[in-house]
Amino acid sequence: MTQIVAEHAQQFAAPAEHSAPTSPSPEIAVKADHLYKVFGRRPHDIVKKLEGGASREDLAHLGTAAVIDASFEVQRGEIFVVMGLSGSGKSTLIRMLNGLLEATSGTVTVGDTRITGLPAAKLRDVRRRSVSMVFQHFALLPHRSVIDNVAYGLEIQGMPRVERLAKARTIIRLVGLDGWADSMPSELSGGMQQRVGLGRALAADTDVLLMDEAFSALDPLIRREMQEQLIELQAELGKTIIFITHDLNEAMFLGDRIAVMRDGRIVQIGTPEDILTDPANDYVAQFVQDVDRARVLTAGSVMEPVRSMVTVNSGPRAALRTMRDLQTSATFVVGRDLGFVGVVRDRDVLKQVKANHPDLRPIIKEATAVSTDTALVDLVEPAVESDLPIAVVDARNRLLGVIPRVTLLAALGNVTTTTGELPITEPPSTISLSVITETLRETASEGAQL
Amino acid sequence: MNDFRIPLGSWADDFIAFITDNFSFLFDFVRTIFNGAYEFVDLVLASPPFWVIVLVAGALGLMVRGWKFAVGAVVGLIVIVGVDQWQNAMDSLALVLVASVLAILVSIPLGILAAKSDLASKIIRPILDFMQTMPAFVYLIPALILFRVGVVPGIEATIIFAMAPGVRLTELGIRSVDREVVEAGEAFGASPARILRQIQLPLAMPTVMAGINQVIMLSLSMVVIAGMVGAGGLGQQVVASLSRIDVSLGFEAGLAVVILAIFLDRMTASLGTGSTPIGRLLAARKHRRQSAAAAAESAISAPVADLKTPQPA
């Protein structure tokens, strides 16, 4: 993947030579700076009024302000989703990013090339080499076969026929259309047609991919499949993707970051979890209330601090005491470096203590541990199967937190759990306090005698 | 009130007089070209024995539409021979072909221009309305002055009368190409000329062909009128039968026009749909060429295949 990025960087250097380089920042793939698009008779006057604080409604009689003061930066290799209802200006915004529409005011920078104000021929060159696009209604050339459609971008780049067809065949395999190369688009289902559209954009091998409601015209099942495939492809190819959608669930599923648009303005930019847990205003809050939280929220964002935890070396007595104090029947066991080991149950520990066995290791049981970025939807099954809280670990397997069932339920239902007064201890203790205390005292005296 | 008179007519007269005086060399030149083209096509059509042309027409019909149409075409043309109008029919056909080709050569670029530019469209539209609705006889008058009696004024009047649907349907066809597909061409960096050639024209082709079909039909309907200015052919026969109140000649010449019209209409109409035997033949050839290219390319794809995209396992 690093190799791909390096090659793209080289591709980027080429157009930059003959156009005014702006701030050279290799990590920013696309940058929009105070972008306005106004349709009307005297658009610049309208922009001035908007800058002066006039609202879009006030100026409706003069013209339509489709995009108002949009600024954002898209990192290289990021999936950046622009989400909004129809009429929010998102399609206009994406068309300014490759110069299909000229910005009324503000600048767009792709890689090192400033798109705004570029002469038509150079703009075409940028589109050929740096930015490709996938369309809502596929926009395939109906009179050309699948392979010729996929090779279209390469054809315009001037690649010889045999070479571009060979490359198109590789792409056709990549998008899962093996065997359909010589079919006509009309013979394909919607989902397959959009695979051709995606293949056409991927074949052009540009760093940036603009996707305009690319999956909105597809059936829900196909849409899901395409979304998953897009994420796989993105991980494989490392493209920068700017994805437009009106579907919040799609935005949340695909987006590394999401820009929410309303009436031409970007009202919030943030990660899906930011937007879900900390909406910028009532509009966003109302918007996100229907979202499928189970797919967006991750274990890391809902986990609670670990209360019941002992180290392997601390022995059964310490474990039993911890459980007694927290009135729980199980406790997590970690290694010296906080590495997650497993869980011990009070009955087992009690036996061990009674037998005066100093080691916890024989009675440690396996427990479910998930990484911080696991979606809540994937926690439901482990939560059903075991009454233990689910352990959340980082990449080095250190125990970071736990998710008791109550927490999981509360997160899914968008209810606050942490009252601060009642720590959630799951599972509840099964052995009475007195028994534990008694046992501890007895064994303690034995230990003292020994 | 009776004194009120807009001298539009005399202005038009002055205008024609002016261009006759000053641009006669231009019209002589056009006359020579048109006449030459007509003479050539007429030579090709009228000099071989009739059965050669009938067989060629039948073969064309077979290729374009199938055997039923071929048989119909042969029978129809033999009827024209049978009513002794073959020579006149070939003269008229030559006139129609020359006028149609010229009208198409003018109208398609104009249609493209009108589709690409709203301003051009706004200017061209009323001119087309004028050309189409002005009674066709009126064109003959200045045409007679400028080109003198003969085939050329007939061709000129035919072009003006017949080109309007060519322009209109070309514009309509290009404008109704899916906006998103054109946008896709733009988004991948294709130049406007390339978008026109590779996307707009191919997709507008059925509509453009309908326009061409209309141009040919209108040309044929002008043949009769052209007969009044000495263009010869079936038109002259019809005009003669009218002046002599000759029902039999009128019917025979008129029937020949109808047969020619049906033949030309069916031929050109099926070209636009692409569902013809010849269309299938072309498609099969294209397919063969493609699979040959695929074979050639798979032979060399091993070194080419080291693309960035990893092969799925």
| Region of poorest pLDDT, from A249-263, A321-335, B254-268 | A321-335
- DSSP single-letter state for residue A376: G
Query: Which one is predicted more confidently, A304 or B283?
Result: A304
Q: Give me the pLDDT at residue A418, please.
A: 55
Q: How far is CA B16 from CA B144, B153, B184, B229, in A?
A: 11, 14, 49, 18
As to burial, measured by CB atoms within 10 angstroms (0-12 exposed, 13-18 middle, 19+ buried), residue A223 is buried
pLDDT band at B78 (very low <50, low <70, confident <90, very high): very high
Amino acid identity, position B114: A
Residue type, A158: G
Average confidence (pLDDT) over B144-150: 78
- pLDDT for residue A200 is more than 60: yes
Name the superfamily (CATH) of residues A300-449: CBS-domain (3.10.580.10)
The pLDDT of B6-12, averaged and rounded, is 87
**pLDDT tens digits for range A119-142:** 999 999 999 989 999 999 989 999
pLDDT at B147: 78
DSSP for A265-319? Answer: EEEEEE-HHHHHHS-SSHHHHHHHTTS-HHHH-BHHHH-B---SEEEGGGHHHHH
For residues A422-443, average pLDDT:
74
pLDDT digits (tens, 9 = 90+) for A11-70: 433 343 344 444 445 688 999 999 999 998 888 888 888 888 888 888 888 888 899 999
Between B223 and A107, residue with greater pLDDT: A107
Check: CB of residue B166 under 8 Å from CB of residue B104. Answer: yes
Q: What is the mean pLDDT of chain B?
A: 83
A62-65 long-range contacts, CB within 8 A, separation 24+: A63/A38, A63/A39, A64/A38, A64/A39, A64/A40, A65/A36, A65/A37, A65/A38, A65/A264
Report for A360-369, A381-390, B102-111, B291-300: range of highest mean pLDDT: B102-111
A73 touches A28 (CB < 8 A)? yes
**Which among B180, B297, B312 has the least Cβ separation from residue A135?**
B180
pLDDT confidence of residue B19 = 83
Please give the pLDDT value at position A156. Answer: 92
Q: What pLDDT band is residue B304 in, cutting at 50, 70 and 90?
A: very low
Are the beta carbons of B301 and A157 separated by less than 8 Å?
no
In this prediction, residues B28-52 reach a mean pLDDT of: 88
d(CA A330, CA A346): 6
Q: What spatial distance separates the first Cα and last Cα of chain A, rounded to whole Å?
A: 62
B residues 195-224 closer than 8 Å to A (CB) = 198-199, 202-203
CB contact under 8 A, A237 and B309: yes
Q: Enumerate the residues of chain A whose CB falls inside 8 A of the CB of residue B305.
A: 166, 170
Asked whether the beta carbons of residue B290 and residue A182 sit closer than 8 angstroms, the reply is yes
Interchain contact B283–A (C-beta under 8 A): no
CB contact under 8 A, A162 and B191: no
B104 in reach of chain A (CB within 8 A): no
Summary mean pLDDT of chain A = 83
pLDDT band at A439; cut points 50, 70, 90: confident
Helical pair B86-116 and B247-273, crossing angle rounded to 10 deg:
40
- The two three-digit tokens of residue B59, written as one number: 């073969």
Predicted pLDDT at B186: 92
Is the CB of A156 less than 8 angstroms away from the CB of B294? no
Assess whether pLDDT exceeds 70 at residue B298. no
Checking if the pLDDT of A290 tops 70, the result is yes
Nearest to A100 among B187, B296, B307 (CB): B187
Q: Span A2-130+206-291: which CATH code?
A: 3.40.50.300
- A89-103, A312-326, B109-123: lowest mean pLDDT where? A312-326
The pLDDT value recorded for residue A3 is 43
Average pLDDT over residues B120-141: 87
pLDDT, average across residues A203-231: 89
- Judged by DSSP in three states, B176 sits in coil
Given a cut of 90, is residue A6 above it in pLDDT?
A: no
CATH superfamily of B9-47+83-273: MetI-like (1.10.3720.10)
B175-221: pLDDT as tens digits: 999 988 999 999 999 999 999 999 999 999 889 999 999 999 999 88
- Summarize pLDDT for A131-177 with one digit per residue, the tens: 999 999 989 999 999 999 999 999 999 999 999 999 999 999 988 88
Contacts of A7 in chain B (CB under 8 A): 308
Separation CA A251–CA A336 (nearest Å): 41
Q: A334 has which bridge partners? A: A311, A340
Residue B67: pLDDT band with limits 50, 70, 90: confident
pLDDT of B76 strictly over 60 = yes
Question: Looking at the complex, does the CB of residue A402 fall below 8 Å from at least one CB of chain B?
Answer: no
pLDDT tens for A233-263 read: 888 888 999 999 998 888 888 999 999 999 8
Asked if the model's pLDDT at residue A281 lies above 90, the reply is no
Query: Per-residue confidence at A190, pLDDT binned at 50, 70, 90?
Result: confident
Mean pLDDT of B59-82: 89
Q: Starting from the edge strand earliest in sequence, which strands make up the sheet with A330-334, in order?
A: A309-311, A330-334, A340-345
Rounded Cα–Cα distance for residues A206 and B98 (Å): 50
pLDDT of B71 strictly over 60: yes
